[in-house]
Amino acid sequence: MLGIIRTIWLTFLHLFHRNETVQYPEVKPYLSPRYRGRIVLTRDPGGEERCVACNLCAAACPVDCISLQKGEKEGRWYPEFFQINFSRCIFCGFCEEACPTYAIQLTPDFEMSEYVRQNLVYEKEDLLISGPGKVPDYSFYNVSGLKIPGKDKGEAENEAKPIDIHALMP
């Protein structure tokens, strides 16, 4: 009986406590840069698409929400289309982990409600941003050994000249 009265009294005292509520649309919460929110596709410092359509993100995705089609242009691979179905996405970040080129990145934006479910399927033009995202200096084709127009084998950063295996010199 005393316990009940004490409970009532303590609950009454809560009238004079401060609100814990964050007035969300007016007061935005701070989200760290590594927050796993909306997914974007980034470009390398030269402005080219980073994505090389290797399909690793789609393979890593546990809910199969990513689908893409590879295309090829002057020795470079790129996605002909790239769709993420955000009504399925669980924002686990596995795609970001799997990506060898830092192309796919998760951002702190989480405000992506829609009235129509179909609008949650983002196409490449919705996903592709103009900047390099969280990794400003990385350009996959500049460090990879792949030969592309304007860059021969062995000309990439930190790459040794290819060894001529037919020569006799050590």
Partner 1 sequence: MTIPPLLIIVVTVFGVLGVAAISTILERRLLGFFQDRPGPNRVGPFGLFQVLADAIKMLFKQDWIPPFADKWVFLLAPIIGFLAVLLSFGVIPVTPSWSVAANWNIGLLFVFGMAGLAVYSVVLAGWSSNNKFALLGGMRAAAQMISYEVFMGLSVMGVVMMTGSFSMADIVAAQRHVWFIIPQFLGAVIFLLAGIAETHRLPFDLPEGENELGAGFHTEYSGMKFGMFFLAEYAGVALTSALIATLYLGGWSGPLLPPVMWFVLKVAFLICFFILLRAALPRPRYDQLMAFGWKVLLPLSLLNILVTGAVLLLRAGA
DSSP-derived secondary structure letter, 101: T
Q: Which of 8, 160, 163, 167 binds partner 1 (CB under 8 A)?
A: 8
Q: Is 158 one of the binding residues for partner 1 (CB under 8 A)?
A: no
Q: Which of residues 17-36 bind partner 1 (CB under 8 A)?
A: 17-21
Contact flag: residue 74 with partner 1 (CB under 8 A): no
Nearer to partner 1, 6 or 34 (CB): 6
* Six-digit token string for 75: 């020795």
- Stretch of residues binding partner 1 (CB under 8 A), selected from 9-17, 71-79, 93-101, 121-129: 9-17
DSSP string, 21-90: ---TTTSPPP--TT---SEEE-B-TTS-B------HHHHH-TT--EEEEEEEETTEEEEEEEEEETTT--
d(CA 97, CA 31): 20
Residue 140 CB, shortest distance to partner 1, in Å, is 48
One residue of 2, 15, 163, 168 binding partner 1 per CB under 8 A: 15
Query: Does the footprint of partner 1 cover residue 11 (CB under 8 A)?
Result: yes
Which lies closer to partner 1 via its Cβ, residue 14 or residue 161?
Answer: 14
Taking a C-beta distance cutoff of 8 angstroms, is the pair 27, 79 a contact?
A: no
49 and 73 Cβ atoms separated by less than 8 Å: no
As a whole number of angstroms, the distance between CA 43 and CA 20 comes to 41
Size of the site for partner 1 (CB under 8 A): 13
Which stretches of the chain bind partner 1, using CB under 8 A?
Answer: 4, 7-8, 10-12, 14-15, 17-21
